[in-house]
Structure 1
Amino acid sequence: EIRDSVGNVLADGDTVVVVRDLKVKGSPTSIKVGTKVRGIRLVDGVDGHDIDCNVDGFGQMQLKSSVVKKA
């Protein structure tokens, strides 16, 4: 089971909120604190990236569960 930064269990389809600014490789801007991400998918990702999602303005990407909290 995958847990968010405060210990809540995450499931497919959940909405999460980013808890710290994230630099995006290849982009001059970063994902800001408080950015809502809807409809996540839990995956067995590379290097700890266990959430697959669509971020508004950035598109498809993978995030670590340690940088999000359940909305």
Structure 2
Amino acid sequence: MSQQLPPCPECAGEYTYEEGDLLVCPMCAHEWVETADDATPAAVIKDAVGNILQEGDRVSIVKSLKVKGGGAIKIGTKVTGIHLLEEPVDGHDIEAKVPGFGHLRLKSSVVKKA
């Protein structure tokens, strides 16, 4: 192997390997895409069933969610135009405008690509 693969950006593990277009760390199971300029690799964000999410995707909620301040987001609520966060906030890695609730942060584990 003539090409040196970068260490994992999450745990700095040195045993990364390629799986298709993704780089994978066997130590922490982190997956990411190597950027063209090799500066900072972009993290891969997957939905509840393993589909890779992209900026602007359309998703639906797969689990009822209680919202601080009252109310709940029901299963099946459609959310359009998601924004993927570069740095997750308290485990929330998606921002989106949810109908009836406004602009919220969501975890990718509670959405499914539509």
Consecutive unaligned residues in structure 2, runs of 5 or more: 1-43
Corresponding residue SS for 1:66: helix
1:38 equivalenced with 2:80 (yes/no): yes
Identity across the alignment (%): 61
For 1:48 and 1:11, locate their aligned partners in 2 and report how far apart those are by CA, in whole Å. 17
1:21-68 residue CA offsets vs partner (Å, 9 max, x unmatched): 0000012x2000000000000002211100000001100010000000
For 1:59 and 1:46, locate their aligned partners in 2 and report how far apart those are by CA, in whole Å. 18
For 1:40 and 1:2, locate their aligned partners in 2 and report how far apart those are by CA, in whole Å. 12
The letter for the 2-side match of 1:56 is: P
Consecutive unaligned residues in structure 1, runs of 5 or more: none
If the length of structure 1 is used for normalisation, what is the TM-score?
Answer: 0.96
Higher gyration radius (CA): 2
The residue aligned with 1:66 is 109
Could you say which structure has the higher helix fraction? 1
Between the two proteins, the alignment pairs up a number of residues equal to: 70
Corresponding residue SS for 1:20: coil
**Residue of structure 1 aligned with 2:100, choices 16, 41, 57:** 57
Q: How big is the alpha-carbon RMSD for the aligned residues of Structure 1 and Structure 2?
A: 0.6
Q: Which runs of 4+ in 1 moved over 3 A?
A: none
